[in-house]
């Protein structure tokens, strides 16, 4: 066989193989375009949240903003985010008195007297976007999952409403939306952060207590913050890989 023919055959073979690979890739392309937002690439982000307990004033802006942005049912049983008020009687870390009237949606009416020696503070709560999420682990069908950019999301069109994930979340951040009978929870305003905006709760927070962070962005202030502050996650013994970092978290917080 002469050289020209061999070259031709080799080239055709390569082309054929490439076509096959291209066809496969095109299938994936057709299957969904997560990179639809022109500049957003899932692999370039790793989302986290900083909550500075020392700055939270319990105004409830975050709770209201979240419910409005994400169309969360207004009844007091459904919260993507909520604020808790802690009241520790003098010298007693073990028996905090905690309340969260309507999740903090209407603020916190004053309940405690001056000068009783107690320690009081607010703690905002939300989905911790766990990297080793127990809720994702138990979903029987893959209707909740960890996205490649570090958020835990829900596939509303696939969810069975079995509620196993609600049982498995140690932080109580999931609920069943009574209108769709599927599970719902904070998804870090995925529709906003993929457009370069911040979450609704961070947008509405007047004191900067809540701050979205992108751990893959070297210029993000979260790196400096984590370096210079003593932060904790909730329920560390559960090893959930929680990415909600709390500054100034008191030991009594559940």
Partner 1 sequence: MEGLLHGVEGFMYPNEVELQWSVLIVLYPFLTGLVAGAFILASLEKVFRVEAVKPTYRLALLTALAFLLVAPLPLQLHLGHPERSLEMFVTPHTSSAMAMFGFIYVWYLMAVLVLEIWLEYRKDIVLAARASTGWKQRFYRILALGSDNLSAGALRADDTTSWVVSLVGIPSAFLLHGYVGFIFGSVKANPWWSTPLMPIVFLFSAMVSGIAIVLLLYMLATWLRGRLIDMACVDTIGRYLLYAFVIDFSLEMLDLIHRIYEADESFKTLDFMVHTRLYTLQVIIQIVLGTLVPIALLALALVVKLSDRARVGVYVVAALLTLMGIFAMRWNVVIGGQLFSKSFLGYTTYKMSFATREGLLPAIGLLLLPFAVLWGLMKLLPPWPEPRPETETIASA
Partner 2 sequence: MGRPFGDREHLVRVALLFAGGFAVFLLLRALLVPEGFGVYGHFRVAALDANRQRPLVYAGRSACAECHSEEADLLRSGKHARVGCEACHGALARHAEDPAAQKAVRPDSRSVCLVCHEANRAKPAGFPKVVVADHAPQGSCADCHRPHAPTPQ
Catalog residues that contact partner 1 under the rule CB under 8 A. Answer: 75-79, 82, 84, 96-100, 102-103, 125, 134, 137-143, 158-164, 166-176, 180-182, 238, 254
SS (H, E, C) 160-181: CCCCHHHHHCCCCCCEEECCCC
For partner 2, the closer CB: 145 or 164: 145
Burial of 229 (0-12, 13-18, 19+ CB in 10 A): middle
Phi, psi dihedral angles at 128 (to 5 degrees): -80, 5
Q: Which does 87 bind (CB under 5 to 8 A by kind): partner 1, partner 2, none?
A: partner 2
Q: Which does 60 bind (CB under 5 to 8 A by kind): partner 1, partner 2, none?
A: partner 2
Provide the minimum distance between the beta carbon of 133 and partner 1 in the complex, in angstroms, as a whole number: 11
For partner 1, the closer CB: 176 or 215: 176
Q: What angle do CA 57, 62, 67 make, to 5 degrees?
A: 150
For partner 1, the closer CB: 31 or 36: 31
In a 13 Å sphere around the CA of 169, the CA atoms on its Cβ side amount to 23
Binding residues for partner 2 (CB under 8 A): 28, 30-34, 36-37, 42, 54-61, 65, 68-71, 85-87, 107-108, 110, 112, 114, 118, 120-122, 142-148, 153-158, 187, 190-192, 194-195, 197-198, 200, 203-208
Residue 243 contacts residue 132 (beta carbons within 8 Å) = no
Q: Which does 99 bind (CB under 5 to 8 A by kind): partner 1, partner 2, none?
A: partner 1
Provide the minimum distance between the beta carbon of 97 and partner 2 in the complex, in angstroms, as a whole number: 11
For partner 1, the closer CB: 159 or 202: 159
Q: Which does 163 bind (CB under 5 to 8 A by kind): partner 2, partner 1, none?
A: partner 1
Question: 126 forms bridges with which residues in the sheet?
Answer: 81
Q: Which does 187 bind (CB under 5 to 8 A by kind): partner 1, partner 2, none?
A: partner 2
For partner 1, the closer CB: 9 or 160: 160
Q: Give one DSSP letter per residue of 84-151, joined into a string.
A: EEEEE-TT-SSS-EEE-GGGGTT-----S-TTS--EEEEEEEE----TT-HHHHH-SSSSEEE-TTS-
For partner 1, the closer CB: 182 or 198: 182
Give how far Cα 157 sits from Cα of 15, 147, 176, 252, Å. Answer: 39, 16, 14, 39
């Amino acid at each position: 066989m002469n050289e020209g023919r061999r070259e031709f055959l080799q080239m055709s073979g390569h082309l054929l193989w490439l076509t096959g690979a291209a066809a496969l890739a095109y299938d994936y392309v057709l299957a969904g375009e997560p990179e639809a937002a022109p500049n957003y690439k899932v692999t370039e982000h790793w989302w986290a949240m900083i909550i500075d307990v020392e700055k939270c004033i319990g105004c409830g802006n975050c709770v209201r903003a979240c419910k409005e942005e994400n169309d969360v049912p207004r009844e007091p049983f459904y919260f993507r985010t909520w604020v808790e008020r802690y009241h520790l009687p003098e010298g007693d870390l073990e028996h905090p008195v905690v309340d969260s009237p309507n999740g903090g949606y209407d603020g916190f009416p004053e309940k405690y007297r001056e000068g009783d020696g107690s320690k009081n503070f607010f703690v905002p709560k939300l989905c911790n976007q766990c990297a080793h999420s127990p809720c994702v682990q138990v979903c029987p069908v893959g209707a909740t999952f960890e996205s490649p950019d570090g958020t835990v999301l829900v596939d509303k069109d696939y969810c069975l409403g079995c509620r196993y994930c609600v049982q498995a979340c140690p932080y109580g951040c999931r609920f069943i939306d009574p209108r769709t009978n599927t599970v719902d929870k904070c998804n870090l305003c995925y529709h906003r952060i993929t457009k370069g905006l911040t979450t609704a709760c961070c947008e509405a927070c007047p004191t900067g207590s809540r701050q979205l962070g992108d751990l893959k962005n070297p210029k993000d202030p979260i790196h400096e913050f984590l370096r210079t502050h003593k932060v904790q996650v909730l329920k560390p013994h559960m090893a959930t890989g929680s990415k909600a970092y709390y500054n100034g978290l008191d030991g009594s917080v559940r």
